[in-house]
Chain A
Amino acid sequence: MDKLFPTQEVGSLAKPAWRVKACRGERLSRKDISEAVEWGRKIGIESVDEVAHLLNEEDSAKKRKTVLEWSAKYGIRFFESAGLDVFFDGEQWRSEMYEHVIRNVAGFEFLGHVKSFDYRYFNKAACVDRPKYVRPFYVDEFVFTKQNARRNIKVPFTGPYTLVDWTFNEFYEKKLSGKIKALKRRKLEAKREFLFDLVNDVVRPEIAKLVASGAEWIQIDEPAATTNPADEEMELFVEAFNSTVKGFNCKFSLHNCYSNYDVLAEHVCELRNLSQMTLEFANRDTTQAGVGNVRTGYKDIELFENSGFRGDYGLGVVDVHTDFVEPPELVRDRILHVAKVIGDSRRILASTDCGLRTRTWETAFRKLRSMVRGAEMARNALR
């Protein structure tokens, strides 16, 4: 992209009630439908009446599929209306970043909910057989988004290390139980086998299909990358990333957030074919305007610079875990601060910290508009 500080989002967007209920086969309330109509008008959906008509129909497989497509179209227009340069469809076709993939790959069994924190849980699966690719899980969504988007798109792709780290490894630990006696080493070797079977048998075939379908930019999401900061685990992560992207004629970025950047920075230069690190920073920062010492949340950028990383930064300038709408001036200052630290404005894309799925559409839209305005102000400041 030619312009300085292009803007991008990171993946998910909340699923509107009309999408959730319709896909569950539930009856929609008048409020749900009017929400679809109002947002449709606001973001320039071409045939809002058609959507309203569809939502009033009786439940059917055809209706559910069409609703899913409309929700993706809404996601696309939402980001376009906010003024973003790079986006996807808000991951409207996916139930959730982990579950969506696992449900579409053979060899896994969901065991139930485990606690994430407080009263939040996630549905955790066990790997009970060698993972097997049975059908594409991102390709149709990508093709639809490509056909409907008017600007640049990237495909968020849940990374193999995270998929493995978030799954109980029954199959491989059992397989190695008679072969490796030391339990710690057995666990690590079992993880390694699981990871590389998943990379080779599932992840790479899907990437190949995406690239063949015209994908030019894939964002590998690896929130679990530094969960286990031990050297042998980080080596696994690096090796898995490199094996994932190897040989594809495609741009790859890596998204990581709420993580240990000391550890990640140590290994970033070992990651091959990596054009951008998309990182959360706003969550760590003060909300006071200005550049310099006040930008405490961005001090870790130096870790990556000192490690020799010279790719682009998808710089998190908008916090996705609060309803506070960052004023454009704050966004501008965050961008200008990092531009000064790294000494190269062309390496910065203004970004959200992570996906926006925990925010309402109203809040998400205001945050994105503000980010777009802030990036523009930063451009003007350097002009």
Chain B
Amino acid sequence: MIGCYPTGIFPRSPGLVKITRKYARGAATEIELQRAFDIATREVVDAQLSAGPSYVTDGMLKWQDLLRPFTENLSGLKAGSLARWFNNNTFYRKPIVVGDLLREHSLIENVACTEHLPNDVPWKAILPAPFTFATLSDNRFYKSETELMFKYAQVLNDEIKSLAKLGFKYVQLSDPAIVYEPTVASTPKKQLKDVGEALGIATRGTSVKTCLQTFFGDFSQILPEALEFPVNDLGIDVYETGVAELKEYSFDKGLALGLVDSRNSLVEDKAELMEIAREVLKSISSSRTRDVFICPNCDLEFLPWQRAEEKMRLVGDVAGSLKEESYG
């Protein structure tokens, strides 16, 4: 099956940017802010629907960063100072681990906008993966980062189960840290076994499909271990990953192909993207790969809204054409 979906936080529309800035200055009310989020969320959902997605998200417009709902709602954590989000001119608040992690209630419920999601397209949620969460946190409580990673994986498991109850069918675990070169360089390869175990804890007993989405780094660095990770699909950033490197391995998981560049406003040539997709699919053709999802390589929030909309259309367009070429 060839489909498509988004892979992260969407940018805020000009109208929402204006209101959030006013709100930050104390010049807009909570009601005005909420109304603007509602309008913008509907726009984001519509933009996705026009691409004919396999799964739809709410755009995550309220998420200040990927970790923030956890940083603010998980007992044992407090928000630290701003830190750079990998190699981007964007920042996140570092979670500081000051106590045992305890999930007292749903972590993302107050930022999820499920009321705007359609009933006829399955819903997708996006959460930080265990390795990325542990790597980006300032651990002042657990003996090691690995212990933190396992503890967080348990929390994640509860959260995924609660999302399933809400109606979500697919959960992406975003894991940029696992392929980001400076982190990988200091991470022993054997630690990938722990990562696999943590993912096992996070996904155990859940009814949703899952994907480990990697970006900002070369996916081939975590091969072949990643092929054993207990998730349904694996996500690859083709702007960082040499396609030739994938040929040596046999995939029996689904593939989320980060084919559209969320970090440059240049709208790609469709023919070139088709060629890259064909090359990847051909290189793993002997594998028992199941689903293939065409998607942006990372969060579209690095782009202004209008370009993100165009790129989402392109994602759908490429997926549609590939499907026609009977890869699906």
Contacts and interface: CB of A to CB of B under 8 A. Distances in A.
- Give the most central of B90, B182, B264, B306: most A CB within 10 Å: B264
B87 interface: yes
- Give the most central of B21, B266, B305, B306: most A CB within 10 Å: B266
B142 interface: no
B301 to A, nearest CB: 6
A177 B12 CA distance: 29
A97 to B, nearest CB: 12
A278 to B, nearest CB: 19
B110 interface: no
B95 to A, nearest CB: 14
B31 interface: no
A184 B17 contact: no
Contact of B87 (A113, A184, A228, A258): A228
B196 interface: no
A117 B64 contact: yes
Contact of A117 (B82, B266, B307): B82
B265 A121 contact: no
Interface string A61-104: 00000000000000000000000000000000000000000000
B11 A115 contact: yes
Given A170-B266, A174-B266, A111 B307 contact: yes
Given A115-B11, A118-B24, A177 B239 contact: no
A227 B88 contact: yes
Contacts of B137: none
Given A112-B14, A116-B91, A168-B266, A184 B239 contact: yes
B294 to A, nearest CB: 15
A180 to B, nearest CB: 12
A118 B84 contact: no
A166 interface: yes
Nearest to A98: B89
Interface in B297-313: 301-307
A119 B24 contact: yes
B14 A115 contact: no
Interface string A131-173: 0000000000000000000000000000000000110111001
Nearest to B302: A114
A214 interface: no
B264 A170 contact: yes
A229 B89 contact: no
B84 A227 contact: yes
A114 B266 contact: no
Interface string A220-242: 00001001111001000000000
Chief secondary structure at chain A's binding surface: mixed
Contacts of B141: none
Given A117-B91, A121-B21, A184-B239, A173 B11 contact: no
A119 B23 contact: yes
B304 A227 contact: no
A126 interface: yes
Contacts of A258: 82, 84
A187 interface: yes
Contacts of B181: 230
Nearest to A224: B89
Contacts of A119: 20-21, 23-24
B66 to A, nearest CB: 12
A174 B64 CA distance: 32
B293 to A, nearest CB: 19
A227 B65 contact: no
Interface string B246-266: 000000000000000000111
A184 B11 CA distance: 24
A280 B163 CA distance: 43
A111 B306 CA distance: 8
Given A115-B12, A117-B91, A227-B88, 18 more contacts: A111-B306, A114-B11, A114-B303, A119-B24, A121-B17, A126-B265, A126-B266, A166-B89, A168-B266, A169-B264, A173-B264, A177-B272, A182-B242, A183-B238, A187-B239, A229-B87, A258-B82, A258-B84
